[in-house]
Amino acid sequence: MEEDCMSSDNDYYYHDEEDDRDSLNGLQGVEDDLTSRNDGGSSTKVITRESLLAAQKEDLRRIMDLLSLKEHHARTLLIYYRWDVEKVLAVLVEKGKDRLFAEAGVIVVENPNPCSSSSSFDCGICMEEKSAREVTVMDCGHYFCNDCWTEHFIVQINEGHSRCIRCMAYKCNTICDEAKVRNLVSQRDLDLAEKFDRFLLESYIEDNKRVKWCPSVPHCGNAIRVDDDEFCEVECACGEQFCFSCSYEAHSPCSCHMWELWSKKCQDESETVNWITVNTKPCPKCHKPVEKNGGCNLVVCVCGQAFCWICGGATGKEHTWSSIAGHSCGRYKEDHENKTERAKRDLWRYMHYHNRYKAHTDSYMLEAKLKETMQEKISKLEERESTFKDFSWVTNGLYRLFRSRRVLSYSYPFAYYMFGDVLFKNEMTEKEREIKQNLFEDQQQQLEANVEKLSSCLEEPFDGYDEDKVKEIRMKIMTLTGIVDNLCRKMYECIENDLLGALQHTIHIIAPYKSKGLEKASELPYWWDTQSQTSEGNGVTGSCQPSSNLDNREDSACSSRKRARGGTLGGDRYFDLNLPADMINNS
């Protein structure tokens, strides 16, 4: 099988847009229910519709307790610092509380209400006289009439600025109290107030660097929160596996930038287009690409237009040994031949890596069918009166085959960019590049050879073998499983330390190697303090009933049942997160 995998480019190469799209999506979702799980606690959490509010409340409570703030002030701080509690604490220590609040637009000093000493006053926006009941004062002390505030809030919400609506006063940086915004807007447009609440709720995901929407299609409605390294690959509860950093499919050992370039190259056939661009010239009349099939530089398009191959200018159809009729473009440009040869060389190099990437992707898809056959083989072995009672060596070998095949497949796009001129041309000398490429390819070939051996052993009909033969196959699979795991780990160490770690001018980070497969995110529990729901200016709230089995905790449990989309968020409202925010008004 090793020889088949290393066949010539022409044996494998074909470039079809649908096949490339299948290749890019092919490795996604096959391992959904095949991956063994880590025994320890999960460092990634699934945020569902029900637990989103609880996750937000958790961070809000930390800031509220630490800085003795109201909830809308705490939310303003966290939105400004992208829901990074550690960043808020770091700024607090470095700059102090006053600078922390001022930069985020938080005013916690109670300003006297000017409306309490006067029955009427003039609005500074519309210049009309208003009664005290028609006036709203913000934390900064600025006051305007309710109509002007409402128009301001409506404009800001429709423009997508719901998370940080600032005071209308000139050069005032204060963020308006969300409770007052909600109160005024709901009197004019209940749906818009609903949209405002939704924006505030989803800011925990949209503005949080440690939380990302699951990119599943159709969308499962979940988000993923990571507690440790954000450069990782995760698996949602729906089975979708993706890179947390870029939200593309899991692609290590490629960095996010490498995978983005490779995906684009495979999807739009950019290398083929590049070769056509270099080796053809557009006709000056019909603009179709024309390829020269002879040595003469007078080219005639199928439309009948004659033009000069050297400069692309239109000419007559006659020429002599020294000139073309009706045209002269000066000296022949020598760099054109060099450019053509370079384009051909780049295309063949791309074909080399693409063929192997495609071959291992196809093998992965075909090997995924082994799951059903393995279950049948195990069932047959269990029915026999055999000394073997534990067949975990079969499933472990199968899981290892899937994971190592993925690593092997993505290692070719990595090598294409690591040892090419696109990203790291000035990072290594030619000698250094050659040494590092040989080191990497040696490890890659060792991994490839053992992966093919493991695949061959798993495909054997060992359910029909005798006891001794089964024992022999068992030892082979167990040995190869350990060898492949070790080779994958060594390849990652080589990439992280010797290749990417040695770069001086650019930084490329890859997700760490997971021997047991991608960690499946656990569901975030949704508990929060019931007292915070009734606090003044509480903003986004939820309806919960106290639980009787919380062991003296001040938390309460909230029902996980989905609720109908009717009413307001402040009044027991749950939103369907499958719908984008801008569709609320159309619902």
Instruction: Please state, in angstroms and rounded to a whole number, the distance separating the CA atoms of residues 169 and 163.
Output: 18
CA angle 268, 253, 489 (to 5 degrees): 155
H/E element, 494: none
Nearest alpha-carbon partner for 225 in 55, 89, 58, 78: 55
Q: Which of 126, 286, 296, 303 is catalytic?
A: 296
Task: Give backbone dihedrals phi and psi of 175, rounded to 5 degrees, phi first.
Answer: -85, 130
Instruction: Please state, in angstroms and rounded to a whole number, the distance separating the CA atoms of residues 233 and 245.
Output: 8
Does residue 254 have an active-site annotation?
no
> Three-state secondary structure along 306-365?
EEECCCCCECCCCECCCCECCECCCCCCCHHHHHHHHHHHHHHHHHHHHHHHHHHHHHHH
Amino acid identity of residue 410, one-letter, is: Y
* C-beta separation of 494 from 437 below 8 A: no
Q: Specify the 3-state DSSP secondary structure of 88.
A: helix
| Burial of 580 from C-beta contacts in 10 A (0-12 / 13-18 / 19+) | exposed
Amino acid identity of residue 294, one-letter, is: G
The tokens 């020889």 sit on which residue?
3
- Going by their DSSP bridges, the two strands 211-213 and 223-226 should be labelled as antiparallel
* C-beta separation of 546 from 534 below 8 A: no
Nearest alpha-carbon partner for 269 in 586, 17, 493: 17
Q: For residue 48, is it left (φ>0), alpha (ψ between -120 and 50) or beta?
A: beta
> Any idea of the CA torsion for 313, 317, 318, 321, to the nearest 10 degrees?
50
* Cα end-to-end distance, the chain, whole Å: 57
| Dihedral sign of CA atoms 122, 126, 131, 132 in order | negative
Nearest alpha-carbon partner for 310 in 273, 287, 324, 320: 324
| Burial of 535 from C-beta contacts in 10 A (0-12 / 13-18 / 19+) | middle
Rg (CA), the chain: 32
Instruction: Please state, in angstroms and rounded to a whole number, the distance separating the CA atoms of residues 88 and 257.
Output: 30
* C-beta separation of 236 from 224 below 8 A: yes
The tokens 């986004």 sit on which residue?
540
Task: Give backbone dihedrals phi and psi of 135, rounded to 5 degrees, phi first.
Answer: -125, 140
Helix axes 335-367, 392-418, angle to 10 degrees: 170
| Dihedral sign of CA atoms 258, 259, 264, 266 in order | positive
Structure tokens at 255: 């960095």
Positions marked active-site: 296
